[in-house]
Structures are given as C-alpha cells and as structure tokens.
Amino acid sequence: MTVKKKLITNQVHAAFKTLAVLLLQFFLFGCEIPELDFLNEIGEERLKGKRISVLSHYSELTPDEEASKEPILLPAPSPNEDWPVAGGYPNHAMHHMEIRDAITEYWSVDIGAGAESEARFISAPVVAKGSIYAMDTLSAVSAYNTRNGERIWKIHLEPDYDEGHIGGGIAYGNQVIFVATGFAEVIALNAKTGKVFWRQSVNSPMRASPVVRGGRVFVVTVDNKLFALNGNNGEILWTHNGVAESASLLGGASPAVGSGTVVVAYSSGELFALKVETGRVLWQDSLSSLRRTDSVSSLSHIRGRPIIDRGKVFAVSHNGLMVCIDLRNGQRIWESKIGSAASPWVAGNYLFLITNDMEIAAINRERGTIIWVRGLPRFENPRSRTDPIIWTGPVLASDRLIAAGSHGYALAISPYSGQILGRVDLPDGVDVPPVIAQGNVYFLANDAELVAYR
C-alpha cells in the first residue's frame, strides 16, 4: 500500500470514528450495552454475576489541559494471523487489531490446573498456524485447534521432585514451542506433536515468557539474568547480568526485540539495550522514583513488557516512572510520573495503560502528556472497600480497548474518550491479558478455562 493510500485510509477511519463509537455502544460480545452500573434496561434479561459500580474509584492522574483538547486519531484496524509471543510480536507493538463488531463465545476448554494461592497464571497463551498453545499452573503445555478448541496434544513438564513452583511462559517460533519454566529449565517442543527437542538449564527459575526472534530465544531469570539461546539446540550464546533484587512483584517482563536490539527490563528497575548478536550493552537506564514511601509502592520492578516502536522504547516501573527513550542512543525523550505493573499498549500516536491505581489512561506517544483517564472498578464490594479488583490489559481491537479483571469480567472501553462501552462475564477471574489472532479473542481464566470469542 502506498503512503498516499495509507493516508487516505487513516483519514477515512478518523472521520468515521465517532460513528464507530456510537455503534459500539450496541455491540460487545453479542450482548446489550448496560448502564454505568452494568445493569440492563428494565425488562431485559440480566447478565449473571455481581453488579459493580464503575464509580467505585478515585482519580490519581489528571489529564493535561492542552492534550485533552486534541482528538485521538487511530490508524485503521488491521487483521493479525498470529500471536506468537507474549505481547504479540517480539517488539510488543501490535497497534490496532481487527475483530468483528459483535462477537460471541465460540468454544471453551479446560487446559488443566488452575490458579491457587501458591500457583498463579502469569503468562498468556500464544497463537500460531491455526493452533493456540497454553501452559497451566503445573507446567503442563497443551495445543488446541483454534477452529473448535479440540486438543491436539498435551505434555507434563514438571519434574516429580519439584512441585509447587510458579512457571514462566511459552513462545512460538519456527514450528517450535519454547517453554520458560519455574524449575530453571528452558525446553523446546515440537509445535505439531509436543515432543521434546531439547532442554537447557539456566540455574534459576523464570517468571516471564520467552521471546523468539531470528533463531534466538531470550529468557530472563528471577535473579535478573538474561540468556540468549540458540533456538535449534539450546546452546547458550551469551548472557547479561542485572543487579539482583531480593524483593519483587510476582511475574516479570519479557524482553522486547527489534532493529537488532534486545531491550530487557529487570525487577531492580534497570533497563538495558543490548546487541542481539553479541549481548554488548548499547545503553542503560534506571526507572526508580521516590514519589512513594511505603514498601510495596517503592518497588522499582519493571513488570510490564517494554515496547520497541518506530525508533523509541517505552517502559514503566511499578514505583511511578514511565519513560520514552531513543532506541539509538538511550537518551530520554520524556518521562512521566505514572506507576504500573501492567504492559503499555501502543497504537498510532498514543499509549494506553492501566495504572497501579486501577485507572486506564491515554497518553500522547510523542510528549508523554495524559489525554484522558478513566477510573476502573476497584472493589468487588465498593461500600466496604473489600475484595480489590486487579485489571489486566489493555489490548486494542476495532476501536475497543479490552481489559479483564480478577473478579471475572472483561470491559470494552473507548480509546477515544475512556467511555465504558460494555462488559462480558468470564468463567472466573483473569490475571493475564487477552490474546487476539485471526479475529478471535481468547481469555485464560484462573480456573484454567480457555475461552474463545469470535
């Protein structure tokens, strides 16, 4: 497509975005759009589940006065066939994906062991070549047909002597499933059969999914060590050490890979850019903020995946600092006092992010200014302020930001205003972001139910 055609497409999309938002108020997952308390109109069938007011929140962020006046113009949605690694592509920049205006549950399947107090889901499934792959909380990996949910194969990887760990995640590359485990092994499986190709010990557990690019597999261990492995045989090509951190959040950030560079984020708050071929450090930064003083908020852990997008790196730390960095030289372009344990989402000239205060915000990609901010429901019981809700996501598809909550609901939110467009009930709470491929939306619930919407 020529530049002129792209320009025309984007202009047409922008011209019709208002109409699209209005139409989306009638469509989400095939159900009626509720009022602000998520109740249907009188006389209509009520959705199952507890009702939660969207007003049960407080605001920490404030939109920039000038930025909030600018209309948000997104690129037109485009289809994506696969979702091969955590965050979609190795650079974690999926932009604006395409799904139908009204989608309904198509199939669901139980993948195995679900979440418990000592075992949590910390990585989402991956999709490639008509199959979806998932790992349960006991490190059993399984493959399913995306058309009907039929299981193709399943393999249990956890050693008999090492039970009760929390695993890392999975990635797809060149007909191979790569598994980062909680028992300090990286394992390569035949994507068609589940047969083990090779195993490689890395001496420390992993809490993040691998990333695959150009025949290399990148994994990060809990003691802040990055390994680059040969995807063919598991040989360790090079390693990089960050500063070990005794206290951190559950889970970790998969590295971002693009333009010959791998950007790795550690639980220490360190951010490094390294050459893919050699591991040579190109630049480094530290995302720490003294804005808060309590023990949890002071953690500098970068748990959200960094993004490489059009010559820039975007990253956010838990303790209150979000940055945009020039990929070439490591110079900060802007910084903003925003804290999050979630992964940002980039599309067009904008970033979308769920903060530690369970707000979703739209941020100008070039300046870091806040365009709009919307508080999400924070408690299952708003009056007593008990049972806090943790939100994950968002992902952007067909003019909808989709976020899922630990209370068992998913929301569709307008990327143009933050307006809540609708809600769908899920089998259980959700701790990992939804995945989108081939026009399907997949949720992995904490009861190990994998649900496909089409």
Q: Read off the pLDDT band of 248 (50, 70, 90).
A: low
Following CA atoms 150, 151, 152, 157 in sequence, which dihedral angle do they give, to the nearest 10 degrees?
Answer: 170
Report, in angstroms and rounded to the nearest whole number, the Rg of the chain calculated over CA atoms: 21
Give the other-Cβ count within 10 Å of 211's Cβ: 30
More reliable by pLDDT, 39 or 226:
226
Q: Backbone phi, then psi, for 7, in 5-degree steps? A: -65, -45
442 forms bridges with which residues in the sheet?
435, 452
Predicted confidence at residue 409, as pLDDT, reads: 94
Mean pLDDT of 261-265: 98
Secondary structure E strands in 233-390: 236-241, 256-258, 261-265, 270-275, 281-286, 307-309, 312-316, 322-326, 332-336, 345-347, 350-354, 359-364, 370-375, 379-381, 386-388
Domains observed in the chain = 1-109+344-454 (2.40.128.630)
Instruction: Tell me if 272 sits within 8 A of 242, measured CB to CB.
Output: yes
Q: Read off the pLDDT band of 299 (50, 70, 90).
A: low
Top-confidence range, 8-22, 150-164, 288-302: 150-164
C-alpha to C-alpha distance for 248 and 349, rounded to whole angstroms: 32
Identify the three-state secondary structure at position 209.
Answer: coil
| 162 has pLDDT over 80 | no
